[in-house]
Homo-oligomer: A and B are copies of this chain.
């Protein structure tokens, strides 16, 4: 048997919080590990590899459902690699869409900011841009 890791060590090794690991177990992303006599979770190097995979995919912005799909693909070596490419391409498109949205937002905010010349709220051009009648009693 290979050496076992306590949850804290696994957390440290993968840059994950302990609670997050327990949560991944709860939602079925990692299997419930063996337990010690004192009921501590005891993880194997395989668990370390799986969690590293998960974290890497999460860092790349994949959702947990997408991670699940990637794990399924990864554990089935005969499967067509095209599915992985597809998933990644879809995710890339999503990221592109978010960047475009944020860039449009950024432009609007920048325009708003150029209109601020100080003074009081009553003649604030930023607030003006928010609606026809901004000031209103509570």
A interface with B by C-beta (< 8 Å): 31, 46, 49-50, 52-53, 56-57, 60-61, 70, 73-82, 84-85, 88-89, 91-92, 95-96, 98-99, 102-103, 105-106, 108-110, 112-113, 116, 118-124, 126-127, 129-138
Contacts and interface: CB of A to CB of B under 8 A. Distances in A.
Contacts of A76: 121
A109 to B, nearest CB: 5
A107 to B, nearest CB: 10
Contacts of A122: 77-78
Contact of A130 (B74, B78, B106): B74
Contact of A84 (B46, B49, B124): B124
A85 B116 contact: yes
Contacts of A136: 46, 49-50, 74-75
A121 B135 CA distance: 60
Given A92-B110, A98-B102, A106-B99, A70 B120 contact: no
15 contacts: A49-B131, A50-B136, A52-B132, A60-B105, A73-B121, A73-B127, A74-B121, A74-B130, A79-B121, A81-B118, A81-B121, A81-B123, A84-B116, A85-B126, A91-B109
